[in-house]
């Protein structure tokens, strides 16, 4: 809300005198709230935001525009934006009823315009954005983005912010390859499993990570290595071909995260663990 004041001057016979200062207050008929549906993010992860604009006045407020700064922050001599909006995701609801799509410009900043809010109504704007290479993926990293609301008959700019944290957990993937790819009976074959961790937290024994596989054709004379060293923490049935590492025997370091000193972009180099299993067909 905005407070205003003014003072009158009385002139007579070459003299002047001032009145008291009168104060008034302009009550805001609009209020805004902004929430992130997701509480955490990962690189390239999708975030959903909900902005609610309430009109408590007695008349329609027109030409309302929402501007989201996409979490922009100063880096070097410029500004980088850790969120990339998904233009097609924008939806507008008035009192829960889906409306025609408003006008959207991805920016940055993101602008959503052409909104009219009837008296006593709530406008809910839902949209999504991806955490990009400028989003800090380190432990303790955050994205705080602020939405600004302007429009006809809005005397004071309204803002609302929300903050999400970087995910603090391992993010694992696994790939498998075979060498050689062409074999005959009684040939030796090696399966290689590469486990990658793009998360900011290492995989430890307490995570009870395990690799299982069923070898077909069944292998005999099995041997294994983990990161080049002999590995025996597994079970294997040469009657069924079922192979399983002991839960917790495989650990994977956290990713190495660096920020480019020129562009501000983060680079994630996965931590890896390589398991090989060799046997005879």
Q: Which pLDDT belongs to residue 244?
A: 98
Query: What's the mean pLDDT in 171-199?
Result: 94
For the segment 214-242, what is each residue's pLDDT rounded down to a tens digit? 999 999 999 999 999 999 999 999 999 99
Q: What percent of the chain has pLDDT over 90?
A: 84
- Domains of the chain from N-terminus onward: 26-166 (2.60.40.740), 172-280 (no CATH)
Residue 271 has a CB neighbour count (10 Å cut-off) of 22
| Cβ-contact 61, 55 below 8 angstroms | yes
Is residue 26 scored above 70 in pLDDT?
Answer: no
Q: What gap in Å lies between CA 86 and CA 92, rounded to an integer?
A: 14
For the segment 234-275, what is each residue's pLDDT rounded down to a tens digit? 999 999 999 999 999 999 999 999 999 999 999 999 999 999
Is residue 4 scored above 70 in pLDDT?
Answer: no
Query: What's the mean pLDDT in 79-107?
Result: 97
Q: Could you tell me which residue, 13 or 214, shows the higher pLDDT?
A: 214
Instruction: Look at residue 207 and give its three-state secondary structure.
Output: helix
Tokens of 124: 């809910």
Q: Which pLDDT belongs to residue 3?
A: 55
């Amino acid at each position: 809300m905005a407070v205003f004041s003014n003072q009158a001057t009385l002139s007579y016979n070459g003299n002047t005198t001032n009145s008291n200062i009168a104060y008034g207050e302009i009550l805001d008929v609009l209020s805004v709230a902004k929430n992130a549906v997701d509480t955490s993010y990962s690189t390239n992860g999708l975030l959903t935001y909900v902005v609610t604009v309430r009109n408590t006045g007695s008349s329609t407020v027109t030409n309302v525009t929402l501007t989201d700064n996409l979490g922009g922050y100063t880096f070097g001599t410029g500004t980088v934006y850790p969120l990339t909006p998904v233009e097609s995701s924008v939806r507008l609801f008035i009192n829960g009823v889906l409306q025609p799509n408003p006008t959207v410009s991805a920016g940055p900043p993101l602008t959503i315009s052409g909104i009219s809010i009837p008296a006593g109504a709530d406008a809910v704007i839902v949209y999504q954005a991806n955490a990009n290479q400028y989003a800090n993926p380190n432990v303790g990293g955050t994205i705080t983005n602020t939405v600004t609301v302007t429009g006809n008959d809005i005397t004071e700019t309204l803002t609302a912010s929300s903050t999400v944290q970087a995910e603090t957990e391992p993010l694992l993937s696994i790939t498998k390859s075979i060498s050689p790819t062409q074999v005959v009976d009684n040939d030796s074959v090696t399966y290689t499993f590469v486990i990658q961790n793009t998360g900011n937290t290492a995989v430890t024994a307490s995570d009870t990570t395990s690799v299982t596989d069923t070898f077909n054709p069944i292998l005999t004379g099995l041997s294994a290595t983990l990161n080049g060293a002999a590995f025996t923490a597994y079970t294997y049935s040469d009657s069924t071909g079922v192979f399983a590492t002991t839960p917790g025997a495989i650990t994977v370091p956290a990713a190495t995260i660096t920020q480019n000193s020129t562009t501000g972009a983060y680079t994630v180099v996965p931590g890896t663990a390589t398991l090989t299993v060799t046997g005879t067909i």
